Chain A
Amino acid sequence: MLLTLIAGLSDGVLLFLVASGLSLIFGVLGVLNFSHGGFFALGAFVTHTLTRGAQLEAWQFVAVALAGGLLVGGLGLVVEATVFRRIYHLAPIDALLATYAVLLTIQGAITQVWGVEPLGQAMPAAFLQLIRIGTTEIPSYEAFVVAVGAVVVVGLWVFLERSDLGRSVRAVAADRGMAACLGIDVRRVFALMVGLGTALAGLGGALVAPRIQITSGLASTYVIESFAVVIVGGLGSMPGALLAAVLLGLLNSLVVTFDPALSGFSLYLGMAVVLLLRPQGLLGTDPERR
């Protein structure tokens, strides 16, 4: 049972890593970024390139993952400056479609650079070992992912709630017009959040690389899953995204132990159920409607 929980938790954390970036970007820009999945996939591909798929020491892998995340974040900044800036003024649905176009572009670019063959990334030896907790043995990789998640959660919390820049971010998310009037450089905040968000997605991709086949299809699969998390958690709510990610990850893990064929299904079913009963998400703001 513990095994299932830890597996679910680590799945949830990975989801959260991608979804947190999405949530940050949505909170500040008001745009659901379809291309987010593309940055996630890029994280995996960049990791492969940096390591050539070889097996590394655990600390080396961590360094590479961080580097990968930073590189992807840098690319995110470039995309923000070239593309996103041009879509801020569009209607929400048009902006959404534009980000979808960016997703397609990233997928195509990935194929152009890395080809169509699936790539692989070897799991660091240290992570293949099992950790004993009581009577259960859990893969240390999953414990590692959960640990990374915890660090990110704490880091984000400290950043958003305790730092000056974080306060500016929250102000822009609440009311960008007002924030501008208060002298906050809104454009810089936009750029920063896109950079941070995409970096987190890249980090997620890097971390998941040893467990999967690295293909450009990752972009389309993970983007919808991260959408599910953000919607279920409530748009613009970071705690909501965390809660939703963990819950959905655990749910999926539990369902899979019953019947492996249902993997993935529970995520979308959960998403549908939450949207039906509470369209604003678990921790989203309640709109007054008849």
Chain B
Amino acid sequence: MRVLARTRDRLGRERATWLAGAAATLAIAIAVPVLSRPADLHFWTETAVLALYAMSVNLLLGYAGIPSFGQAAYFGIGAYAVGLLATRGFPLPLTVLAATVVATVAAVIVIRLSVRASGLAFSMLTLAFAQALFTVTFRLDLVGGENGLVGLFPGTVLGLDLTRDPVALWLFVLALVALVLAGLRLLVVSPFGTMLQMMRDDERRAEFLGVPVVRFRTAAFAIAGGIAGFAGALDAYVLGLVTPDHLFWTRSGEPIVMAIIGGMHHFLGPVVGTIVYLWTRDALSRLTVAWVLWIGLAFLVVVIAAPRGLLGLPATLRAWKRGR
């Protein structure tokens, strides 16, 4: 233990965090395929993608204090972009890139339109856009209507056969997710991240310190939308298909639930929350068809008794002991 503390002091806290993160990523990359069955590997690959999605939602919710209930729109746009391009023969790097760009543009459009709304009206507006998009894709033949688009094969990238080799797909996805998380980490501990948190705590105060709040909100929304689109694009390949379900409002609610379960004020909270949520859901759904009941109750308990989530449990327990 003391060795760790000394290493931390010598390297500086942030650098130590980076080293730990790199080491953990490497360990996870190797351990998961080794320790799990092929069917489970698919589950963990999907989890990695959804964890990234949850991180992007938490950039808005936990860091910037922007309660967007419509992130599924960008997740879904990313997935559908891949769906449309892949079924027309475009290769993976291009489709994912295009998907991210389109999702980012959509996010910018929405946030620029919503400039005058705030609080609940804003949340509902983001929800409205996502639901509107959902109702459209449901009946649009171009995107496969109710059934969506299938047959989305990632193909071969960098010599790895991602379609047939689940380990290759896992490593590819994990590498991309880790890369984006690294970028998010850099963002969140930088002055830019500080500005977002200032806006979260007191937007007016930030405004009166000379922070151009609208521009930062736009930037945060664009980044979150882009990452959500990127995650959606990866999801399309991991699942091999995209359906309107990608856009349904519950797809906006899930990452919020996951972020809160993990702890929305902690960097890796959403990741922890995603793993816990998906694993629990998987296990519960084998036991009972009414698994939603237990998830709902568990989430209720978290919101009421432990709003700081799992990573915030030490703080919650300390507050309990102090009798607050």
Contacts and interface: CB of A to CB of B under 8 A. Distances in A.
On whether A and B touch (CB less than 8 Å), the answer reads yes
Given A220-B250, A268-B128, A97 B260 contact: yes
Contact of A109 (B117, B118, B121, B293): B293
Interface string B226-260: 00000000000000000000001110010011001
Interface in B104-161: 113-114, 116-118, 120-122, 124-125, 127-129, 131-132, 135-136, 138-140
A107 B292 contact: yes
Given A92-B120, A94-B303, A108 B294 contact: yes
Nearest to A220: B250
Contacts of B257: 97, 100
Contacts of A86: 304
B135 A111 contact: no
B296 A98 contact: no
A250 to B, nearest CB: 18
B289 A265 contact: no
Interface in A72-112: 83, 86-87, 90, 92-94, 97-98, 100-109, 111-112
Contacts of A228: 124, 128
Contacts of A265: 132, 135-136
A275 interface: yes
A275 B117 contact: yes
Given A102-B296, A268-B135, A272-B132, A109 B125 contact: no
B128 A263 contact: no
Given A86-B304, A97-B303, A101-B303, A271 B124 contact: yes
B209 interface: no
A216 to B, nearest CB: 8
B43 interface: no
A264 interface: yes
Contact of B293 (A92, A112, A231, A271): A112
Given A108-B294, A108-B296, A272-B132, A235 B256 contact: no
Highest count of chain A CB atoms <10 Å: which of B120, B131, B250, B256? B131
B118 A279 contact: yes
B288 interface: yes
Contact of B253 (A100, A227, A263): A100
Given A101-B299, A279-B117, A261 B292 contact: no
SS class, residues of chain A in contact with chain B: helix
A169 interface: no
Contacts of A271: 124-125, 128
A115 to B, nearest CB: 7
A5 interface: no
A116 B288 CA distance: 11
B166 interface: no
Nearest to B301: A101
A276 interface: yes
A46 interface: no
Contacts of B260: 97
Contacts of A106: 296
Nearest to A228: B128
A111 B118 contact: no
A75 to B, nearest CB: 15
A269 interface: yes
Nearest to A275: B125
B295 interface: yes
Contacts of B116: 276, 279
A113 to B, nearest CB: 8
B222 to A, nearest CB: 19
A177 B219 CA distance: 40
A9 to B, nearest CB: 21
B91 interface: no
A51 interface: no
A173 to B, nearest CB: 16
Interface string B30-70: 00000000000000000000000000000000000001000
Contacts of A264: 135, 138
B256 A97 contact: yes
A102 B293 CA distance: 9
A244 interface: no
Contact of B67 (A83, A93, A115, A276): A93
Q: A-B pairs with the 10 shortest C-beta distances?
A: A108-B293, A104-B296, A105-B296, A108-B292, A112-B290, A268-B132, A101-B300, A261-B139, A111-B290, A264-B135
Interface of A: 32, 83, 86-87, 90, 92-94, 97-98, 100-109, 111-112, 115-116, 220, 224, 227-228, 231, 235, 261-265, 267-269, 271-272, 275-276, 279-280
15 contacts: A97-B303, A100-B257, A101-B296, A101-B297, A101-B299, A105-B292, A105-B297, A107-B292, A107-B296, A224-B131, A264-B138, A267-B135, A268-B131, A279-B117, A279-B118
Given A109-B293, A264-B135, 14 more contacts: A97-B260, A101-B299, A104-B296, A107-B296, A108-B292, A108-B293, A111-B289, A224-B249, A265-B136, A271-B124, A276-B114, A276-B117, A276-B125, A279-B118
